[in-house]
Amino acid sequence: MVTRLYWHPIYLQHLTSPGHPERPDRLRALHSVLEGDEFYGLDRVEAPMGDEEAILYVHPESLAERIRAAVPEEIDEEERERGLAQHLTRIDGDTVVSPKSWEAALTAIGAATAAVDTVFTGKADNVFVASRPPGHHAERDRAMGFCLFNNAAIAARHAQAAHGAERVAIVDWDVHHGNGTQDIFQADPTVLYCSTHQMPLFPGTGAKDETGVGNIVNAPLSPNTGSREFREAFTSRVLPALDEFRPDLIIVSAGFDAHHRDPLAEINLDESDFDWATGKLMDRAERFSGNRLVSILEGGYDLQGLSQSAAAHITRLMKG
């Protein structure tokens, strides 16, 4: 099983305010754990910058223009010497951009679309995209929840436009519901969206009765539940939906903030749960989509919980 990792140092230059949970250290922690000998065979590739036109797969041009216009200019050396801080602009209460955020966001899109190209051309069986900013809260015409553009949704549309995929499934196990992905695809039967998430919790969407045109499968979890409830939701709701849909590609919105250490939620998973869920999705990828699976990093805000869980996920991708 060949697993590729897409990454780029520009992701570390998307800066957020002090104390913000979505911070560059998340990727530093992840890359640190991937230095272990067990990851020697991981095919590591620097991500290309994405085409701005790819944003228009799922977002209007007006959103792209608003985000680009909000990105501040880099402060110069004289300003640094005067002790001025890095310039940041708030999109909303949770979401900020810094001078390199546009470039980082485009490179996150480039990684997502390149990952799709990689699995459809057979250069790898599966791909993990270690990018930021994340994407699953970005709605069609609104950036929010740390997210600027919806990387997983763009990847799905790219699979359809560039590779003729008829059915794409997005499975989202981030602890926060992917309201953006649901918003984009809720009227489109060619894309299946399945989500396990804590409820109630930000962003307040993701009830079971939100079903789109039969293509939305939400499996909310109550606070302070854990492995048993997560695996039951996966087994009873997510996997049967995948079996019925028979996707040509599986995309994972791989947030690791359902880990018990995470400070932003109250679901008590550990690394073994992400390993288990990865294996179940790989079984479906083998059965329906020629092993094609693309996993894109979303949340995960405790550095140890994130890095160990992502490591377990990537290890399973590599082992098959």
pLDDT of residue 78: 55
Q: How far is 4 from 14, CA to CA, in rounded Å? A: 23
Provide the mean pLDDT of the chain. 96
Residues marked as catalytic: 137
Note the CATH architecture for domain 3-319. Answer: 3-Layer(aba) Sandwich (3.40)
pLDDT of residue 75: 66
Assign 3-class secondary structure to 9-33: HHHHHCCCCCCCCCCCHHHHHHHHH
Residue 126: pLDDT band with limits 50, 70, 90: very high
pLDDT of residue 85: 52
Residue 87: pLDDT band with limits 50, 70, 90: confident
Tens of pLDDT, residue by residue over 221-260, are 999 999 999 999 999 999 999 999 999 999 999 999 999 9
- The pTM (predicted TM-score) of the whole model is 0.96
Per-residue exposure over 123-134, b if at least 16 CB sit within 10 Å of its own CB, e if not: ebbbbbbbbbbb
For the chain, give every domain's residue range. Answer: 3-319
Q: How far is 241 from 55, CA to CA, in rounded Å? A: 28
Between 303-319 and 271-288, two packed helices, what is the crossing angle to 10 degrees?
30
Question: Above pLDDT 70, what percent of the chain?
Answer: 96
Q: How far is 232 from 243, CA to CA, in rounded Å? A: 16
Q: How far is 265 from 159, CA to CA, in rounded Å? A: 32
